[in-house]
Amino acid sequence: PGFIMNESTDKTLTGAQQTLVALNAQANGMRAELADLQRDLAQARDDFSSTHAAQLLEANEQLVISALRARTLADSALADLVALSRTTQYDELTETPNRALMLDRIQGAIGLARRHREQLAVLFVDLDGFKLVNDTLGHAAGDAVLRRVASCLADSIRETDTVSRFGGDEFLVLLASVSDASDAAVMAAKMLAALSSSGADQGVAASVSASIGIAVYPKDADTPEELIRCADAAMYRA
Residues marked active site are found at 169
Whole-angstrom distance, CA of residue 125 vs CA of residue 38:
92
Q: Are 169 and 127 in contact, with CB atoms under 8 Å apart?
A: yes
Amino acid at 117: R
- Nearest Cα neighbor of 195 from 185, 203, 186, 205 is 205
Collect all residues with Cβ–Cβ distance below 8 Å to 188 and sequence separation of at least 6.
123, 212, 214
- Nearest Cα neighbor of 91 from 36, 138, 135, 146 is 146
C-alpha 78: how far from chain center: 6
- Nearest Cα neighbor of 125 from 189, 210, 209 is 210
The crossing angle, in degrees rounded to 10, of helices 99-116 and 7-89 is: 90
How many C-beta atoms surround the C-beta of residue 183 within 10 A?
15
Pairing of strands 162-167, 170-178: antiparallel
By three-state DSSP, how is residue 218 classified?
coil
Amino acid at 130: F
